[in-house]
Amino acid sequence: MTPVNNTLKKVLTPLASLRITVVLIVATVLLVFAGTTAQKDMGAWDVQRAYFHTWGVMAPLKYFFPLTTWSETLGGAVPLLGGYTIALAMLVNVLAANVLRFRVGWRDLLVMPALVALLWGVGLLTYGQGYYVMTAALMVACLPLVGAAYWLHEKRGGVVLIHLGLILILLGELGTSAAAVEQQMTVDEGSSKNWAHDTRYAELAVIDRAAQGDHSRVVAIDDKLLKPGATVADPRLPFEVKVDAYYPNSTLLEPGDAPPEGTPAVTAGFGLTRPAALRQKVPGVGMGEPDFPTAYVTLTRQGREIGRYMLSAWLDVQPITVEGKTYDVALRWRRYYKPYSIHLKDFRFDRHTGTQMARNFSSDVRIVDPEAGVDREVKIWMNHPLRYRGETYYQASFDDATERTTVLQVVRNPSWLMPYIACVVGGLGMLAHFGLTLREFGRKRAKADADATAAAAAAAPRPARERKQQYTLPPRRAWASARFLVPAGALGLCLLYLIAVLAPRPVKSAEGFDLKAAAAIPVNYEGRVMPMDTLARVSLKVITGGKEDLRKVECKPPGMQFLFDTFTRNERSAKHEMFRIDNAEVISLMGLTPLDKDKKERQLFAWSELEPNAVKLQGEAIKSSEVPAKEKTAYHRGVDELWKKVKVFDSLAALGGLHVVPPAAPGGEWRQLKPAFDESRQKGVRDPGVEKFLTLLQTYGAKDAAAFNAAAADFRAHALAADPDRAGKTGVEVFFNRVAPFYHLLGFYVLVFVLTVCSFLGAPGPLRRAAWWVLVLTVLLHTGGLIFRMYLQGRPPVTTLYSSAIFVAYGGVLLAMVVERFFKNGLGLLVASVAGFVSLFVAHNLAGSDGDTLRELQAVLDTNFWLATHVVIITLGYAATFAAGLFGIVYVIRGVFTPTLDKIASKDLTRMVYGTICFAMLLSFVGTVLGGIWADQSWGRFWGWDPKENGAVLIVLWNALILHSRWAGLVRERGTVVLAIFGNIVTAWSWFGTNELGAGLHTYGFMEGTRFWLAAFAVSQLVLMMVGLLPMTAWRSGVALERNTTPGGFPAGKATPPNLPKKVMPLGGN
């Protein structure tokens, strides 16, 4: 280590302050949050320039209160440091800290840059082998850097690596913002293209096609010069351009429509027939419709007016004649020409059966580069880009109208490798630092437990030596003690309950139909082969508003009877009361009676009641579809919801959205009944799938139970033979649906909670042991449920919002169990039970809105590697941050409302929070990094400031804020736990809130009611934080904390005397 001289120390000390670090992290959190919420109004690229690629910004106050209607009326703005300012200040702060506190010196300057350069070389050499190979190679090549850091800085080596990774990230982002160029190349099948355009920027192009023989001469005017009132004159232009108006985004009106007031006059060109109107810029990041700019210009030549034109990205080039020579003029997106061409030989894509969702798509292209002598063919598909001559081509999208045009994302970023290196260095540093810290903590904890055990043994009373005769009681059998009987009894009850749930039960209707066998019949719905049981459950969840049961049915599962009643359109299908309507205006629209015969309010209605006004409902639904989402009232949402339910019911009744006929040949697609029937008649051949399904419907309609049961078995056997891989899982899925493991686990987590709370009141040993073993059984069942889902979907455990809730519960429980094994005070059990129950409760409610929780995935998600790494790890980061917040809540509730929180217990709980935050920091960072690598593969940008990406980095930043505040001495025990509680709000925002903005590539979609529950959750956490900040005089444990004693007056850490009443036994004591 190199000593720092006094003069340099005086200069660096204020710059290296941890307090400055905390201030900069807070500034970053505010900037990222404001830059995220701003995307509901602004395009992501505009947000990047206004917030992240600037020195300062005035953020409107309304952006700090997102998802609220009243915030739109707020005026004023908050001054924030811009991204450049924060990056520069953080760079100085980190460098100063490393020189001052970690003694980074000349040896580091010799070793570290050389090893980073080695990493850069390894990355360049291996990127052609694929991202997996390159990332693995970088991790191996980083090991010498890790060794050097610990050789130079000993125990602080991990922190130095983390800071080095941060420095590289900042430099990489600065390089990206300065030099990166993103474009799109749209190529029709069979054609070639040697240019790409950037839809973020526009240019006014003047094209002289006869200037240089076969080549055109193009003069482009950048959109920065197209300011209203400005005049552009250049010797290379054949005329002067005066800008009358410029619309960054616009729409073309229909021929004959009057132009909006204030629209400049047009004397020639396309604008005479179709004027343009200003439109709000497209918010968010996406591959959807970009901004289409329009310019109204007046062209003059030496003071003489040539004409007034409307130029628009919506339109093609317009010919303009000047002194007998014709030029083509167009307002278009900025173009970048290549010294090579890309020829699209073949574009292929598949959709999930019966949907518009792309399953996969790819482009077979030919690169022709005369300069380099290259002429080769390459395949580009999702998550498998092409790198050529410093640019990367990604399969971004396609034209779904022609289905013969590919859209490639083209990225040139000289700093593309820097984030990979930075994240490998920082991630390994974090892993090494936290891993060694955890090992040291475990060693100290084990030594402390051993010392306590030895002290207790030494203090135990010994029999008097002078007594010659002793009476000894026979040893008590272990199985007869409460320590065994209580846990065994709890486990026995749980096992009996499981047996009752798993026991097979025959299911037959009143007419004798074997609906259990029919439940396993496979069909294809929304692209997935599922059993009819799942189809019935999914449909009923939509129609009934989240329920799977009906009134007035004669069997269970009722969904199967509902399904076949609807298929056959019998009288009973119209009488099932299943359409849930909550809006009074919609009830009135449909002419329904809001009260039943007992004068009670109705929510469920039958199709026979809705059918007379179905046409009226359709008309209102069409009108509602034309209303912007932000302007929809409760009535509009009620109409939309009911119309969605009616369409689901109608598609079942008409078998329209179902593909019920198995493939005619192995590997083929499932088919709809009517087209398959028509095809078989036209060809004059029998189609056994069609015949067997028709028999199934006919026998049910004829109420012939025996024939129906035989037809059901026959059809299922045929489907299994036609599509064994997918149809073969339907029986397992029916079992999984019937058992509903995650629903029953709610009760198990409640039992763990009750046992744990009771253990704090008395008999802690047996009850806590019972809670532990019930929790172990619950986790095993939770694991089994996850494995079932993975088998059925063929995917890693997290693929949808619903599955993320299940996995957050799982991760939170496992982490709390690890904490419990370290501290053995019951608090880990308490947090595990709460985390498991709350997350599964959220998942249970999401299942009602999600419909099919095993649905097929979009093409970009068709990668089990990234689903198993990025998605799983980032979800574990959510779980760990929530777990830290729950430990913080336990601290506050225990300290304020009970007298049991002494200083020893306070330190233990703070250690739990601190350790969990360290895990959350590591998992969130690694998960975010992996997400960046995935994004780089899919869209060509490691970081795009997308709302979901920003939400993930907010969790990392908040955990870093807690740790640095603790290290800086700004907060102690109470401050740490209060900040951890606010981490719950940050995580909830990242998990759900960012979806509600309706912007970005990762948006999962709006869910009715989410905003209310998010707000309620945030308010509850803020209340807990305020309670935690109450003066110590308001805490029931305030005295114990001040005096470092237990509530009974005994010194903290001492054993409780045998005569101490149980009612004052310290919480968590053994």
- Whether the predicted pLDDT of 1051 surpasses 50: no
Give the range among 170-179, 263-272, 292-301, 359-368 with minimum mean pLDDT.
170-179
Per-residue pLDDT at 793 exceeds 80? yes
pLDDT at 456 over 80: no
CA atoms within 13 A on the CB side of 609: 20
pLDDT for position 634: 87
What does the pLDDT average to over 842-863? 78
What whole-number percentage of the chain has pLDDT above 70?
90
pLDDT above 60 (res 472): no
Radius of gyration of the chain from its Cα atoms, rounded to whole angstroms: 34
Give the range among 376-385, 391-400, 410-419, 1035-1044 with minimum mean pLDDT.
Answer: 1035-1044
Amino acid, single-letter form, for residue 703: K
pLDDT of res. 1001: 61
Nearest Cα to 839, choosing from 794, 888, 876? 876
Sign of CA dihedral 257, 263, 269, 270: negative
Per-residue pLDDT tens digits for 511-546: 788 888 889 999 999 889 999 999 998 888 888 877
Confidence class for position 938, pLDDT limits 50, 70, 90: confident
Return mean pLDDT, the chain.
86
Q: For residue 150, what pLDDT band results from cuts at 50, 70 and 90? A: confident
Question: By mean pLDDT, which of 93-107, 173-187, 377-391 is the weakest?
Answer: 93-107
What does the pLDDT look like over 243-259, one tens digit per residue?
999 999 999 998 888 88
Q: What is the mean pLDDT of residues 944-965?
A: 92
Which single residue is written with the structure tokens 């959205």? 657
Q: Which residues pair with 186 in a beta bridge?
A: 407
Question: What pLDDT does residue 104 have?
Answer: 74
d(CA 597, CA 571): 22
Q: Which residue has the higher pLDDT, 817 or 870?
A: 817
Q: Write down the pLDDT at residue 469.
A: 52
- Tokens found for residue 647: 């369409």
pLDDT tens for residues 628-671? 776 788 899 899 999 999 999 998 988 877 899 999 887 788 99
Buried (b) or exposed (e) across 477-498, using 16+ Cβ within 10 A? eeeeeeeeebbeebeeebeeeb
The mean per-residue pLDDT over the stretch 255-283 comes to 88
Confidence of residue 285 (pLDDT cuts 50, 70, 90): very low
Per-residue confidence (pLDDT) for residue 1050, from 0 to 100: 33
| pLDDT value at 703 more than 50 | yes
Q: Residue 380's pLDDT is what?
A: 92
How confident is the model over 409-417, as a mean pLDDT? 87
Average pLDDT over residues 6-11: 79
pLDDT of residue 1045: 40
pTM score, two decimals?
Answer: 0.85
1006: pLDDT strictly greater than 50 = no
The predicted pLDDT at position 1065 comes to 32
- Cα angle 476-482-486, degrees, rounded to a multiple of 5: 145
Nearest to 852 by CA among 523, 411, 551, 394: 523
Give the pLDDT band (50/70/90) at residue 838: very high
List strand residue ranges (DSSP E) for 66-140, in order. 77-81
Closest CA relative to residue 772, chosen from 836, 687, 830, 834: 830
Q: Which residues neighbour 716 within 8 Å (Cβ) at sequence distance 6 or greater? A: 517, 520, 521, 522, 727, 730
Q: What is the DSSP code (8-state) at residue 601?
A: B
Q: Among 86-100, 137-151, 346-360, 823-837, whose mean pLDDT is lowest?
A: 346-360
Provide the residue ranges of all domains of the chain, joining segments of one domain with +.
Answer: 6-179, 181-412, 483-512+740-856, 517-723, 893-1070
- Residue-wise pLDDT for 325-364, tens only, equals 999 999 999 999 999 999 999 998 888 887 777 778 899 9
Can you tell me the distance from the alpha carbon of 948 to that of 801, in angstroms, rounded to the nearest whole number?
13
Segment 1052-1068 mean pLDDT: 37
Per-residue confidence (pLDDT) for residue 441, from 0 to 100: 80
